[in-house]
Amino acid sequence: MNGIQTFLELLKYVVPALIVLIATSVIVRRFLLTETKIKQLELLREKQDDTIRLRLHAYERLVLFIERIHPRQLVPRIYHSNMSVAELQAAIVVSIRAEFEHNLSQQIYVSRMVWDTVRQTKEQELSMINSIASQLNPEDAGRELHKRIVDYLMTVDGQLPTDTALQIINEEAKSVLLGEA
């Protein structure tokens, strides 16, 4: 009987200790899981903030690209008084293509619609420049091409491709800022 009494006496101390150990284990496990989830949410939030910053930077770069290839900005920046039509045309084409290539990586951060718009705008600007230049003698003074481009800009009906592209980029950038995209 002495062995049973010792065993019962031992159970009297061991059972409550096991209960406390199990309860503590459950509480600590839940606490650690909660802390892990909180850390994961914080990391996710930080990554989203970084992603939004990258996307907004891409929109900024694309707006700058569109502004730089707009004929009102591009032609005066490139034109020199001693250029011929052919030289001015070539310089404009090279500049547009170089600007575009410089911004190729931005397509990663923007929607397909925005990137397609940017690409189409570049092509339309090149087409417009080449079309106007083809109507002139390549050896004529570059100011003739410059004048024809300015005349075209003043007489065009509706929005220019660059204006449309800027509008699309701005709308998408605003939706990213508002958390809609």
| Rounded mean pLDDT, 109-133 | 96
pLDDT surpasses 80 at 124: yes
Degrees, nearest 5: CA angle 50-55-58: 130
pLDDT in tens, 51-86: 888 999 999 999 999 999 999 899 999 999 999 999
What are the percentages of helix, strand and coil residues in the chain, rounded to 5? 85, 0, 15
pLDDT in tens, 77-116: 999 999 999 999 999 999 999 999 999 999 999 999 999 9
CA distances from 119 to 104, 107, 130, 170, 172 (A): 10, 10, 17, 16, 16
Tokens 């091409």 label which residue?
Answer: 145
Degrees, nearest 5: CA angle 60-66-134: 165
The one-letter amino acid at 166: L
Query: pTM of the predicted model, to two decimals?
Result: 0.74
pLDDT in tens, 130-172: 999 999 999 999 999 999 999 998 998 878 899 999 999 999 9
